[in-house]
Amino acid sequence: MISEYDFEHAPCGYLSFYPDGTICQINQTLLNWIQYRKEEVVGVKKLDAITAKGTSIYFQMFVYPLLKMQGYINELSIDILSSENTSTSCLFNASAIKHEDGSLRQINAILFSISDRKKYEVEILNAKKMAEAAADHKEHTLQAQRRILFILGHDTRAPLYSINMMIRLAAEGKIAQQEIIPFFERMANQLDATLILLADLLSWSDALLNNKKQAESSFLLQDVVREVFELLQGNADAKNIVLKSEVSPLLEMSSNRQVITFIIRNLVNNSIKYTSSGGVTVTVTTGADPGTLSIHVQDTGIGMPPEKLKKYVTGKLTSTAGTNNEKGAGMGMALVNEFLLQLNGSIQAESHEGIGTTTTIKLPCLL
């Protein structure tokens, strides 16, 4: 025979409750865990007074239905909360006592404390999640690399092929003396886009290979925008496009400067490329969310339809010629996306055909 003392001080918690959660019996072991006196609990408290709300929802969604369907539940891992708000990790086994019509009358449960074992379990669970995230990341990087290699092969082949042709023609003496200089100019133009493409690739692989932390520095965003504008001023002048910066002179950010420069250069370059007249404005604002920096690049260009915009933003658009027939590698946006992924940033764009496009990138930051 089990004595009352044995029951009260059993090496496990004991609990009975009604289907509405009201506790009708509880032993001293469990009371010690939750730090209440018996009269504070029995007939007074419901189960949700000693569990977190997420657990109570879980009971409504799964535990009561299971008790009703199969009459018992075993090895449920739950946390029990004390009056002091400390928690005890438990395994919960319960069986249902039913009325004659099959409805639940009472639920009897025992609880084993598994706090130490639980810590170990949490470690395993975390390790599993980390491994899954790492595998996802690796897969994504692999895919990006394949895509970039494909674009690279595709986009360097054509100019090199035509330059090769020109050199052969020159070598075979099939070009008149007075045509040589314009000929070389055409070759140089062909190479411009290819060189930009290779420079982009270099900065991308640089960022991949180098430790991200090492590459981080503090700089004024304004300086980066100015630098980009200086680089692209010639392109803008050729099309009478005004570059305008509204970046606060004090806005300092801590990030990989090379990468930020790359992203802004690509966005501004695209804006110039697809604008025939009017202006490209780079506006940088800090978003409503205190931890986020938003950089807007706005143009008055030809815009694009929604389906094209979606591809553009995700870097999956194949390059098309600009309004002045500028060539592009079609890889800039793919790399912008890669970089934003590394910086935990995001990109969005809004576009209206004939009116213009506004591209916004968001970066986490500590201002």
Partner 1 sequence: MFDVLKRNNVSIQGKGEETIIFAHGFGCNQNTWREVAPAFEDRYRVVLFDYVGSGQSNRNAYDPQKYSSLEGYAQDILDICHDLGGNDFILVAHSVSCMIAVSAALQEPQLFKKLVFVSPSPYFFADGEYNGGLDKQDIDGLFEMMDNNYLGWSSLMAPLIMGNPERPELGEELTNSFCANDPAIARQFAKVTFYSDYRSFLPLVEVESLTLQCTDDMLAPAHIGAYVAEHMPNNSLVHLKASGHCPHLSAPHEVVRSISSFLKHE
* Residues forming the site for partner 1 (CB under 8 A): 19-20, 52-58, 60-62, 64-66, 68-70, 73-74, 76-78, 102-104, 121, 125
Q: Which helix (H) or strand (E) holds 153?
A: helix 115-171
Instruction: Please say whether the beta carbons of 27 and 109 come within 8 A.
Output: no
DSSP per position, 80-108: EEPTTS-EEEEEEEEEEEE-TTS-EEEEE
Cβ nearer to partner 1, comparing 60 with 162: 60
Least gap, CB of 362 to partner 1 (angstroms):
20
Least gap, CB of 18 to partner 1 (angstroms):
10
Least gap, CB of 26 to partner 1 (angstroms):
21
Amino acid, res. 261: T
Whole-Å CA distances, 266 to 80, 126, 281, 291: 54, 38, 14, 24
Least gap, CB of 102 to partner 1 (angstroms):
8
Cβ nearer to partner 1, comparing 15 with 284: 15
DSSP per position, 160-189: HHHHHHHHHHHHTT-S-GGGHHHHHHHHHH
Least gap, CB of 111 to partner 1 (angstroms):
14
Least gap, CB of 202 to partner 1 (angstroms):
35
Whole-Å CA distances, 83 to 50, 213, 273: 8, 44, 66
Cβ nearer to partner 1, comparing 115 with 277: 115
Cβ nearer to partner 1, comparing 48 with 353: 48
Alpha-carbon distance 56 to 301, whole Å?
A: 55
Angle among Cα 213, 195, 340 to the nearest 5 degrees reads: 35
Least gap, CB of 110 to partner 1 (angstroms):
17
Cβ nearer to partner 1, comparing 143 with 324: 143
Alpha-carbon distance 248 to 286, whole Å?
A: 10
Least gap, CB of 290 to partner 1 (angstroms):
18
Least gap, CB of 346 to partner 1 (angstroms):
17
Alpha-carbon distance 229 to 98, whole Å?
A: 77
Cβ nearer to partner 1, comparing 69 with 231: 69
Least gap, CB of 21 to partner 1 (angstroms):
8
Instruction: Please say whether the beta carbons of 363 and 306 come within 8 A.
Output: no
CB-facing half-sphere around the CA of 324: CA atoms within 13 A: 16
Cβ nearer to partner 1, comparing 9 with 311: 311
Instruction: Please say whether the beta carbons of 276 and 301 come within 8 A.
Output: yes
Cβ nearer to partner 1, comparing 73 with 259: 73
Alpha-carbon distance 13 to 79, whole Å?
A: 13
**Residue from 160, 180, 158 nearest 169 by CA:** 180
Count Cβ atoms within 10 A of the Cβ of residue 287 and give its class: 0-12 exposed, 13-18 middle, 19 or more buried.
middle
Cβ nearer to partner 1, comparing 89 with 261: 89
**Residue from 203, 176, 150 nearest 339 by CA:** 203
Cβ nearer to partner 1, comparing 53 with 174: 53
